[in-house]
Amino acid sequence: MSEIKAADVKALRERTGAAMMDCKGALAEAAGDMDKAIEILRVKGQASAAKRAGRSTGEGTVTSYIHANGKIGVLVEIQCETDFVARNDDFQAFAREIALHIAAAAPRYVSAEEIADADIEAERTVFEQKAAEEDKPENVREKIVEGQLAKWRKEVVLLDQVHVNADKHDGKTIEELRAEAAASTGENVVIARFARFVVGEED
Protein backbone atom coordinates (compact mmCIF):
# COMPACT_ATOMS: atom_id res chain seq x y z
CA MET A 1 0.00 0.00 0.00
CA SER A 2 1.28 3.49 -0.83
CA GLU A 3 2.40 5.73 2.01
CA ILE A 4 -0.23 8.16 3.34
CA LYS A 5 0.86 11.70 2.54
CA ALA A 6 0.80 14.35 5.26
CA ALA A 7 -0.91 16.75 2.83
CA ASP A 8 -3.77 14.27 2.37
CA VAL A 9 -4.14 13.85 6.13
CA LYS A 10 -4.26 17.63 6.53
CA ALA A 11 -6.82 17.98 3.74
CA LEU A 12 -9.02 15.28 5.25
CA ARG A 13 -8.82 16.93 8.67
CA GLU A 14 -9.84 20.29 7.18
CA ARG A 15 -12.83 18.68 5.43
CA THR A 16 -14.07 16.63 8.39
CA GLY A 17 -12.74 18.23 11.57
CA ALA A 18 -11.63 14.78 12.77
CA ALA A 19 -8.45 14.22 14.79
CA MET A 20 -5.17 13.88 12.86
CA MET A 21 -4.60 10.23 13.84
CA ASP A 22 -8.20 9.36 12.96
CA CYS A 23 -7.71 10.93 9.53
CA LYS A 24 -4.48 9.01 8.96
CA GLY A 25 -6.16 5.76 10.02
CA ALA A 26 -9.17 6.37 7.77
CA LEU A 27 -6.95 7.09 4.77
CA ALA A 28 -4.98 3.92 5.45
CA GLU A 29 -8.19 1.90 5.71
CA ALA A 30 -9.47 3.50 2.48
CA ALA A 31 -6.17 2.88 0.66
CA GLY A 32 -5.78 6.61 0.11
CA ASP A 33 -9.26 7.16 -1.34
CA MET A 34 -10.34 10.55 0.07
CA ASP A 35 -14.09 10.10 -0.44
CA LYS A 36 -14.05 6.64 1.11
CA ALA A 37 -12.01 7.96 4.04
CA ILE A 38 -14.59 10.70 4.61
CA GLU A 39 -17.34 8.08 4.68
CA ILE A 40 -15.35 5.96 7.16
CA LEU A 41 -14.87 8.96 9.45
CA ARG A 42 -18.54 9.90 9.14
CA VAL A 43 -19.70 6.44 10.19
CA LYS A 44 -17.22 6.29 13.08
CA GLY A 45 -18.06 9.83 14.13
CA GLN A 46 -21.78 9.14 14.20
CA ALA A 47 -21.20 5.97 16.22
CA SER A 48 -19.03 7.85 18.72
CA ALA A 49 -21.57 10.68 18.89
CA ALA A 50 -24.30 8.17 19.70
CA LYS A 51 -22.23 6.88 22.63
CA ARG A 52 -21.80 10.45 23.91
CA ALA A 53 -25.49 11.29 23.60
CA GLY A 54 -26.31 10.49 27.21
CA ARG A 55 -23.53 12.59 28.71
CA SER A 56 -24.43 15.74 30.63
CA THR A 57 -24.22 19.06 28.76
CA GLY A 58 -23.86 21.78 31.36
CA GLU A 59 -21.91 24.24 29.23
CA GLY A 60 -22.43 25.85 25.84
CA THR A 61 -23.31 29.10 24.16
CA VAL A 62 -26.28 31.24 23.20
CA THR A 63 -25.64 32.68 19.75
CA SER A 64 -27.57 35.32 17.86
CA TYR A 65 -27.93 36.07 14.19
CA ILE A 66 -29.60 39.15 12.71
CA HIS A 67 -30.41 39.16 9.02
CA ALA A 68 -28.87 42.03 7.07
CA ASN A 69 -32.16 43.90 6.73
CA GLY A 70 -32.74 43.78 10.48
CA LYS A 71 -36.14 42.14 10.02
CA ILE A 72 -35.26 38.59 11.13
CA GLY A 73 -33.40 37.59 14.29
CA VAL A 74 -32.48 34.26 15.85
CA LEU A 75 -31.27 33.10 19.25
CA VAL A 76 -30.06 29.51 19.52
CA GLU A 77 -28.69 27.61 22.51
CA ILE A 78 -26.03 25.00 21.72
CA GLN A 79 -24.88 22.86 24.66
CA CYS A 80 -21.66 20.94 25.24
CA GLU A 81 -19.89 19.38 28.21
CA THR A 82 -17.07 21.80 29.05
CA ASP A 83 -16.38 25.51 29.05
CA PHE A 84 -13.18 24.79 27.09
CA VAL A 85 -15.18 23.51 24.12
CA ALA A 86 -17.86 26.21 24.52
CA ARG A 87 -15.17 28.87 23.95
CA ASN A 88 -13.57 26.98 21.05
CA ASP A 89 -13.62 28.88 17.75
CA ASP A 90 -14.92 25.86 15.80
CA PHE A 91 -17.76 25.34 18.26
CA GLN A 92 -18.69 29.03 18.07
CA ALA A 93 -18.58 28.87 14.25
CA PHE A 94 -20.87 25.82 14.33
CA ALA A 95 -23.35 27.74 16.51
CA ARG A 96 -23.31 30.69 14.10
CA GLU A 97 -23.96 28.39 11.14
CA ILE A 98 -26.97 26.90 12.94
CA ALA A 99 -28.34 30.35 13.80
CA LEU A 100 -27.93 31.50 10.19
CA HIS A 101 -29.72 28.39 8.96
CA ILE A 102 -32.64 28.91 11.35
CA ALA A 103 -33.06 32.49 10.13
CA ALA A 104 -33.25 31.31 6.51
CA ALA A 105 -35.10 27.98 6.82
CA ALA A 106 -37.59 28.85 9.59
CA PRO A 107 -37.85 25.44 11.31
CA ARG A 108 -40.57 25.05 13.93
CA TYR A 109 -39.06 22.31 16.09
CA VAL A 110 -35.57 21.13 17.03
CA SER A 111 -36.45 17.43 16.71
CA ALA A 112 -39.40 15.32 15.59
CA GLU A 113 -39.99 14.32 19.22
CA GLU A 114 -41.01 17.93 19.98
CA ILE A 115 -43.95 17.88 17.57
CA ALA A 116 -47.21 17.79 19.50
CA ASP A 117 -49.70 15.06 18.59
CA ALA A 118 -52.29 17.76 17.92
CA ASP A 119 -50.01 19.38 15.31
CA ILE A 120 -49.47 16.04 13.56
CA GLU A 121 -53.20 15.30 13.51
CA ALA A 122 -53.95 18.78 12.16
CA GLU A 123 -51.52 18.24 9.28
CA ARG A 124 -52.87 14.72 8.70
CA THR A 125 -56.40 16.11 8.39
CA VAL A 126 -55.26 18.65 5.79
CA PHE A 127 -53.49 15.97 3.74
CA GLU A 128 -56.46 13.60 3.98
CA GLN A 129 -58.82 16.31 2.76
CA LYS A 130 -56.48 17.16 -0.09
CA ALA A 131 -56.27 13.49 -1.12
CA ALA A 132 -60.08 13.24 -1.05
CA GLU A 133 -60.51 16.42 -3.09
CA GLU A 134 -58.06 15.12 -5.68
CA ASP A 135 -60.14 11.92 -5.81
CA LYS A 136 -57.20 9.68 -5.01
CA PRO A 137 -58.13 5.96 -4.76
CA GLU A 138 -59.07 4.90 -1.23
CA ASN A 139 -56.47 2.14 -1.17
CA VAL A 140 -53.55 4.54 -1.73
CA ARG A 141 -54.72 7.58 0.23
CA GLU A 142 -53.14 6.46 3.51
CA LYS A 143 -49.77 5.89 1.84
CA ILE A 144 -49.99 9.31 0.17
CA VAL A 145 -50.87 10.98 3.47
CA GLU A 146 -48.00 9.26 5.33
CA GLY A 147 -45.59 10.33 2.59
CA GLN A 148 -46.75 13.93 2.83
CA LEU A 149 -46.45 13.84 6.63
CA ALA A 150 -42.86 12.59 6.35
CA LYS A 151 -42.06 15.38 3.89
CA TRP A 152 -43.68 17.95 6.19
CA ARG A 153 -41.57 16.75 9.14
CA LYS A 154 -38.39 17.24 7.13
CA GLU A 155 -39.52 20.78 6.32
CA VAL A 156 -40.29 21.83 9.91
CA VAL A 157 -37.77 19.87 12.03
CA LEU A 158 -34.39 21.58 12.36
CA LEU A 159 -32.29 18.42 12.69
CA ASP A 160 -33.86 16.92 9.55
CA GLN A 161 -33.28 19.97 7.36
CA VAL A 162 -30.38 20.23 4.91
CA HIS A 163 -28.29 23.27 5.76
CA VAL A 164 -29.26 26.22 3.55
CA ASN A 165 -25.63 26.63 2.50
CA ALA A 166 -25.65 23.19 0.90
CA ASP A 167 -22.50 23.73 -1.18
CA LYS A 168 -20.43 24.77 1.82
CA HIS A 169 -21.69 21.84 3.90
CA ASP A 170 -21.84 19.17 1.17
CA GLY A 171 -25.63 18.86 1.38
CA LYS A 172 -25.52 17.62 4.98
CA THR A 173 -28.46 17.81 7.36
CA ILE A 174 -28.23 19.76 10.61
CA GLU A 175 -28.14 16.44 12.49
CA GLU A 176 -25.15 15.31 10.42
CA LEU A 177 -23.38 18.60 11.14
CA ARG A 178 -24.21 18.26 14.85
CA ALA A 179 -22.78 14.72 14.88
CA GLU A 180 -19.61 15.97 13.18
CA ALA A 181 -19.29 18.76 15.76
CA ALA A 182 -19.61 16.15 18.51
CA ALA A 183 -17.00 13.96 16.83
CA SER A 184 -14.51 16.80 16.35
CA THR A 185 -14.88 18.15 19.91
CA GLY A 186 -15.08 14.74 21.59
CA GLU A 187 -18.10 15.95 23.56
CA ASN A 188 -21.86 15.58 23.49
CA VAL A 189 -23.18 18.52 21.45
CA VAL A 190 -26.88 19.34 21.72
CA ILE A 191 -28.97 21.94 19.93
CA ALA A 192 -31.17 22.66 22.92
CA ARG A 193 -33.63 25.31 21.73
CA PHE A 194 -34.06 28.31 19.50
CA ALA A 195 -36.25 31.35 19.00
CA ARG A 196 -36.83 33.03 15.66
CA PHE A 197 -38.24 36.55 15.44
CA VAL A 198 -39.69 38.28 12.40
CA VAL A 199 -40.78 41.91 12.50
CA GLY A 200 -44.57 42.14 12.36
CA GLU A 201 -45.18 38.44 13.02
CA GLU A 202 -46.85 37.11 16.15
CA ASP A 203 -46.72 33.60 17.64
Each residue's pLDDT tens digit, 106-120: 999 999 999 999 999
Which residues lie below 8 Å from residue 70, measured CB to CB, with a gap of 6+?
199
Q: Give dist(CA 107, CA 158) in Å, integer.
A: 5
For residue 173, list its beta bridge partners.
162
Please give the average per-residue pLDDT across 26-39, as a whole number. 87
Average confidence (pLDDT) over 13-26: 76
Q: Is the pLDDT of residue 138 over 70?
A: yes
Q: What pLDDT is attached to residue 46?
A: 53
116-155 has which fold?
GTP Cyclohydrolase I; Chain A, domain 1 (1.10.286)
Q: How confident is the model at residue 45 (pLDDT cuts 50, 70, 90)?
A: low
Domains 59-111+157-198 and 116-155 share a fold: no
For position 56, what pLDDT does the model report? 60
Which is higher by pLDDT, 48 or 129?
129
- Using pLDDT thresholds of 50, 70 and 90, give the confidence band for residue 200: confident
Per-residue model confidence (pLDDT) at position 114: 92
Using 50, 70 and 90 to split pLDDT, how confident is the model at 52?
low
Task: Tell me the pLDDT band of 87, cut-offs 50, 70 and 90.
Answer: very high
pLDDT at 164: 95
pLDDT band at 97 (very low <50, low <70, confident <90, very high): very high
Domain 6-52, CATH: 1.10.8.10
Mean pLDDT calculated for residue range 65-75: 92
Q: Quick check: 3 and 31 in contact, CB under 8 A?
A: no
Report which of 201, 170, 195 is spatially closest to residue 99, judged by C-alpha positions.
195
Distance, CA of 156 to CA of 172 (rounded, Å) = 16
The better pLDDT of the pair 72, 184 is held by 72
CATH placement of domain 59-111+157-198: 3.30.479.20
DSSP letter, residue 164: S
Q: Is 79 helix (H, G, I), strand (E, B) or coil?
A: strand
**Other CB atoms within 10 A of residue 180 CB:** 22
Instruction: Provide the mean pLDDT of the chain.
Output: 86
Three-state DSSP at 113 gives helix
Instruction: Please compute the mean of the pLDDT values over residues 189-198 and round it to a whole number.
Output: 94
CA distance 120 to 123: 5
Residues 6+ apart with CB under 8 A from 149: 120, 123, 124, 127
Q: Taking the complete model, does pTM exceed 0.85, yes or no? A: no
Q: What gap in Å lies between CA 23 and CA 32, rounded to an integer?
A: 11
For 69-80, what is the mean pLDDT? 94
Say what the pLDDT of residue 11 is. Answer: 82
Q: How many residues does the chain have?
A: 203
CA-CA distance, 83 to 190, in Å (whole number)? Answer: 14
> How do the domains of the chain map onto residue ranges?
6-52, 59-111+157-198, 116-155
Hey, what amino acid is at 115?
A: I
pLDDT band per the 50, 70, 90 thresholds, residue 184: confident
Three-state DSSP state, 192:
strand
Q: Give the CA-trace dihedral at 153, 154, 155, 159, to 10 degrees.
A: 110
